[in-house]
Amino acid sequence: MGAGIVEVFARGGVDVVAVEITPAALERGRATLTRSTDRAVTRGRLTAADRDALLGRVTFAVGLAALGEVDLVIEAVPEQLGLKRRLFGELDRICKPGAILATNTSSLSVTEIAVATERPSQVIGMHFFNPAPVMKLVEVIRTVTTSTEVVEAVEALCGRLGKVDVTITDRAGFIANALLFGYLNQAVAMFESRYVGREDIDAAMKLGCGLPMGPLALLDLIGLDTAYEILETMYRRGGRDRRHAPVPLLRQMVTAGLLGRKSGQGFYRYAGPGSSTVVPDDQTPSAIPVDGARPVARVGVIGSDAAIAGLGEVFAGAGYDVVVLPWEPEKSAGPGGREKSVGTGGLEKSAGTGGSEKSAGLEGLADVDLVVAAVDGGDLETVRALFAELDEVCRPGALLATTTGTLPVIDIAMATRRPADVLGLHFAGPAGPAGLSAEVRPVVEIVETIRSSTEAVATARAVCAALGGTGVVCRDRAGFVVNALLFPYLNDAVRMLEASYSTVDDIDHAMKLGCGYPAGPFEMLDLVGLDIALAVQRSLYRELREPSLAPAPLLEKLVTAGFLGRGTGRGFREPTAQPFSGRSGG
Residues taking part in catalysis: 106, 127, 139, 177
Report the C-alpha gap between 300 and 515 in whole angstroms.
40
Amino acid 337 reads G
CA dihedral 103, 108, 110, 114 (to 10 degrees): -80
Rg (CA), the chain: 27
Dihedrals phi, psi of 69, to nearest 5 degrees? -115, 10
Report the C-alpha gap between 279 and 277 in whole angstroms.
6
CB 431 within 8 A of CB 529: no
Cα separations in angstroms, 539 against 180, 300, 408, 535 = 22, 28, 9, 6
CB 489 within 8 A of CB 524: no
Strands 399-402 and 370-374: parallel
Is residue 73 classed as helix, strand or coil in its secondary structure? strand
DSSP letter at 425 equals: E
Report the C-alpha gap between 401 and 385 in whole angstroms.
14
CB 230 within 8 A of CB 181: yes
Report the C-alpha gap between 301 and 364 in whole angstroms.
11
Cα separations in angstroms, 499 against 159, 315, 343, 565 = 28, 45, 47, 21
Q: Which residues contact 233 (CB under 8 A, 6 or more apart)?
A: 79, 81, 107, 108, 172, 173
DSSP letter at 573 equals: B
The separation between the first and the last C-alpha atoms of the chain, rounded to the nearest angstrom, is: 40
Residues forming a β-bridge with 473: 446
DSSP letter at 299 equals: E
Report the C-alpha gap between 201 and 154 in whole angstroms.
39
Q: Which residues contact 419 (CB under 8 A, 6 or more apart)?
A: 410, 413, 449, 451, 452
DSSP letter at 544 equals: H
Cα separations in angstroms, 102 against 26, 110, 181, 277 = 20, 9, 23, 34
Report the C-alpha gap between 456 and 292 in whole angstroms.
8
DSSP E strands, 385-468: 399-402, 422-427, 443-448
Cα–chain-centroid distance for residue 281? 25
Report the C-alpha gap between 237 and 109 in whole angstroms.
8
Report the C-alpha gap between 208 and 480 in whole angstroms.
12
Sign for the pseudo-dihedral over CA of 104, 110, 113, 116:
positive
Sign for the pseudo-dihedral over CA of 91, 92, 98, 103:
positive
